[in-house]
Amino acid sequence: MQQANKVSISAVIITFNEAKNIARCLNSLAGIADDIVVVDSFSTDDTPQICRSFANVRFIQHAFEGHIEQKNYANTQALYPHILSLDADEALSEPLRQSILEAKNNWQYDGYYMNRLNNYCGAWIRHGTWYPDRKLRLWNSQKGNWGGTNPHDRFIMDKTAKTGRLTGNLLHYTVHSIQQHIGQINKFSSIRAAGMFTKGIKPNFYRLYCKPVIGFVWSYFFRLGFLDGYFGFVISLNSAYSVFLRYAKLKELWKNNNPA
């Protein structure tokens, strides 16, 4: 009979002014993580005090240089190579907790994907491009690193790595108001445009004019975003706007750095 391959798990979280969310996130890790490390970029709210109130949390402060850079640094602070990476506004559902425990007690893959269920203004969004919103969040850190383009980081596994899938949802309390969403779009589109500019990516007719429209039609109609009612429409429209804004800002960067 083959012996189960049991592992220890480090939960890794980065924070900045997450007093509204961090306790829920940390509480959901009870009985799952053997080590919890929070890397904070010098929060000015109660995030440090809340984290330090948890006896099993190691709280570290480190200057923020970018989402990818911060998460790669946070991984180096983990005690164990098998890492569960969460954002402060996420929490494990009970079915996902049980699925992670099964993987922990019988580790079979180099990494595990899970579905993320997003909460938008108090409503759970189950259609459109926001669900199942599959994320790779549990892995052997020796098999990859964080990459992508800030702020849209992703863990990139080695080509030879094998991945599995967990059941249950990663609960994401993402947006509390439409005003907050618009603010996020403005902030993150600037970061994304700067990242694309650094990589030499240029806007063109398709990216600036066609891609936002195609994105809306795909999300709202083909991915059934309309089944989420009013918020399904708002999300699909705002997602299209974020794509347009990203490339409009990129166009402006190229113009300002290459004057006629």
Question: Are 169 and 208 in a shared domain?
Answer: no
Question: Are 112 and 199 in a shared domain?
Answer: no
Question: Are 165 and 225 in a shared domain?
Answer: no
Q: How far apart are CA 66 and CA 232, in angstroms?
A: 30
Residue 127: what pLDDT?
97
User: How many other CB atoms are there within 10 angstroms of residue 80's CB atom?
Assistant: 16
Q: How far apart are CA 9 and CA 93, in angstroms?
A: 17
Inside any domain, residue 1: no
Q: How many CA atoms lie within 13 A of 201 on its CB side?
A: 17
Instruction: Summarize the confidence of residues 121-146 as an average pLDDT.
Output: 96
Inside any domain, residue 13: yes
Instruction: Summarize the confidence of residues 176-195 as an average pLDDT.
Output: 95
Structure tokens at 219: 């999300």
Question: Are 22 and 136 in a shared domain?
Answer: yes
Question: Are 167 and 237 in a shared domain?
Answer: no
Question: Are 148 and 199 in a shared domain?
Answer: no
Question: Are 162 and 187 in a shared domain?
Answer: no
Instruction: Summarize the confidence of residues 180-187 as an average pLDDT.
Output: 96
Q: How sure is the predictor about 259, in pLDDT bands with cuts at 50, 70 and 90?
A: low
CA distance from start to end of the chain? 73
* pTM > 0.75: yes or no: yes
CATH number at residue 84: 3.90.550.10
Chain centre distance of CA 129 = 14
Residue 152: what pLDDT?
79
Q: Nearest-CA neighbor of 104 among 34, 154, 30, 155?
A: 34
Question: Are 169 and 183 in a shared domain?
Answer: no
Phi-psi region of 255 (alpha: psi -120 to 50; beta: other; left: phi over 0): alpha
Inside any domain, residue 2: no
What range defines the domain where residue 65 resides? Answer: 9-175
Instruction: Summarize the confidence of residues 37-58 as an average pLDDT.
Output: 98
Inside any domain, residue 191: yes
For strands 57-61 and 35-40, give the pairing. parallel
How many domains does the chain contain in total?
Answer: 2
Question: Are 36 and 135 in a shared domain?
Answer: yes
Question: Are 97 and 183 in a shared domain?
Answer: no
Last residue of a domain, one of 160, 175, 190: 175
Q: Does the pLDDT of residue 134 top 60, yes or no?
A: yes
Structure tokens at 145: 């690193």
Instruction: Encode pLDDT of 102-117 as tens digits.
Output: 999 999 999 999 999 9
Question: Are 32 and 96 in a shared domain?
Answer: yes
Whether the CB-CB separation of 44 and 96 falls below 8 Å is answered with no
Last residue of a domain, one of 156, 175, 194: 175
Q: Which residue has the tokens 């402006």?
A: 252
Q: Nearest-CA neighbor of 66 among 151, 9, 7?
A: 151
